[in-house]
Amino acid sequence: MKGIRVVGWLLRALVAKLLVLNIGLAQAEDYLPTPRVAAQSWLLMDHESGEVLAQGNADARVDPASLVKIMTSYVLGQALQGGAVEAHDRVTIDTDASAAGNAQLQGSSLMFLKPGDRVTIDDLNKGIVIQSGNDACIAVADYLAGSEQAFVDAMNEQARLLGMLNTQFKTVHGLAAEGQFSSARDMALLSRALIEQLPAEYALYKQKAFSFNQVVQHNRNRLLWSTSLAVDGLKTGNSAAGGYSLVTSAVLDGRRLIAVVLGAESDRLRFQESEKLLKWGFRAFETVTPIKADEVFVSKRVWFGDTHNVKLNAGAHPAISVPYGQADDVSVSAILDSPELHAPLQVGQVVGVVNFQIGSRHIAEKPLVVMEAVDEGGWFSRAWDFLLLKLYQWLGVCLLCNGEGGL
């Protein structure tokens, strides 16, 4: 019954998304030489702006191996944050979540669960994130969703909602499975969502070790020990088909970057190339907010409404990435999707785009959104607006457009 209840909660959570991700491209290659990265696929993203600073073959489908566990962690983190499960809940370990009863797990990374163990969700979560325990993934899936397949279905639905177009999960742990794949871009999208939406869950990724049943295992992300970068996540992955992979995130002076390196030829290379990407990104770019999230960017005439003007801005995530030292050179303009705005308008409704440029170069784009709802006006008001609009369309002059801001 617990699994059925949690599956119901997960389905509701899938519909009520907490974050709209605005992903752009900073086009670093127009300004600075991008680094050479020795990997099948790679990408560097600014966390706040969501913009891709550099990439190489970022949509190629690669075996993600243990990077699958980032999505397992994401779904579990949602359940914890939503109250569907509690960290102190105890899970009775079944034979399928133990190497002793599941031959597929033998020789793989484990938390070393035993059938009949009573383990808290909190410990299982740490077993997934810190120890990369395949057995812990199965135990969590069985408890939350009733079966591995039901949990995988929830993972794939989350991937769809996050816009992970080149991802398909077949397992909860990442062990080899036909038809399982992901991409550097998709892993960056997932990691950004986890960091943004689930801070308590993400906090586990910086822990360097975890002890269970008197067995201490260290986090496999060696960049957590870096003295030149403040890395606090995320995950390693390795398979014969996919090579050596790593998703990392680091912070410098309050600015966070996410690096994804997939299919490196060695363990050493995945860490070396990830470190190279992060250091380059911090040197080459800065994050700026020419338009503040809570400030009006422009006010426009609205027709057939209970008010004549509507306030517009660049949404909840207006930050952009620019080449370092060029923040003062950014110019901003807005373009409406249609010549006129007609009521009703809802808060957050997208009515156009905000363009950011440096000189003649387009560097970023954000949605132009409504800040305050506008309901339809009364009959007389709408009839009067109809006449005014016809005159406006005929004369090319907006009569009684007091307070309208220009674009």
pLDDT at position 340: 85
Q: Do 132 and 226 sit in the same domain of this protein?
A: yes
Shared domain check, 70 and 12: yes
Q: Give me the sign of the Cα torsion angle 160, 161, 166, 169.
A: negative
Q: Could you tell me which residue, 367 or 384, shows the higher pLDDT? A: 367
CA atoms within 13 A on the CB side of 111: 32
Evaluate if residue 22 carries a pLDDT over 90. no
Catalytic residue among 69, 170, 300, 366: 69
| Mean pLDDT score across all residues of the chain | 89
Percent with pLDDT over 90 in the chain: 74
In-domain check, residue 365? yes
Note every long-range contact of 110-113, with CB atoms under 8 Å and residues 24 or more positions apart, other chains counting: 110/134, 110/135, 111/135, 111/136, 111/212, 112/212, 112/213, 112/215, 113/139
Q: Is the pLDDT of residue 403 over 50?
A: no
Residues 132 and 281 in one domain: yes
13-17, 148-152, 322-326 — which one is most confidently predicted on average?
148-152
Residue 290 lies in a domain: no
Which of 285, 318, 348 is the C-terminal boundary of a domain?
Answer: 285
Out of 41, 73, 132, 191, the active site residue is 132
Query: Is 115 buried (19+), middle (13-18) or exposed (0-12) by CB count in 10 A?
Result: middle
Q: Are residues 355 and 250 part of one domain?
A: no
Radius of gyration of the chain (CA): 25
Q: Is 372 domain-assigned? A: yes
| pLDDT at residue 18 greater than cutoff 70 | no
Domain containing 123: what range? 2-285
Using the predicted structure, report yes or no on whether residue 405 has a pLDDT greater than 70. no
Give the pLDDT of residue 397.
60
Contact 183, 79 (CB under 8 A): no
Q: What is the pLDDT of residues 219-244, one digit of tens each?
A: 999 999 999 999 999 999 999 999 99
pLDDT, average across residues 269-298: 94
* Model confidence at 17: pLDDT above 50: no
Same-domain status, 39 and 123: yes
Q: Is 230 in the same domain as 371?
A: no
108 is catalytic: no
In angstroms, the Cα distances linking 194 to 59, 138, 227, 234, 379 are: 20, 20, 25, 10, 48
In tens, the pLDDT along 35-90 reads 999 999 999 999 999 999 999 999 999 999 999 999 999 999 999 999 999 999 99
Q: Which of 253, 285, 317 is the last residue of a domain?
A: 285
Q: Is the pLDDT of residue 273 over 90?
A: yes
pLDDT attached to residue 237: 97
* 216, 362: one domain: no
In this structure, the answer to whether residues 236 and 382 fall within a common structural domain is: no
List the catalytic residue out of 41, 49, 66, 274. Answer: 66
The pLDDT value recorded for residue 316 is 86
DSSP letters spanning 121-172:
HHHHHHHHHTT--HHHHHHHHHHHHSSHHHHHHHHHHHHHHTT-TT-B---S
- Which pLDDT value is given to residue 388? 78
Our answer to whether residue 321 is catalytic in this structure is no
pLDDT at residue 173, rounded to an integer: 98
Report how many domains make up the chain.
Answer: 2
DSSP per residue, 8-33: HHHHHHHHS-S------B--GGGTSP
**382 — pLDDT class (breaks 50, 70, 90):** confident
In the predicted structure, residue 404 carries a pLDDT above the cut 90: no
CA distance 321 to 281: 10
Q: Is 245 labeled as catalytic in the residue annotation? A: no
Tell me the mean pLDDT in the region 392-402. 61
pLDDT digits (tens, 9 = 90+) for 151-165: 999 999 999 999 999
Query: Are residue 138 and residue 251 in the same domain, yes or no?
Result: yes
In this structure, is residue 407 part of a structural domain? no
Q: How far apart (Å, rounded) are the C-alpha atoms in residues 20 and 177?
A: 31
**CA 233 to mean position of chain CA atoms:** 14
pLDDT of residue 406: 36
Q: What is the pLDDT of residue 400?
A: 52
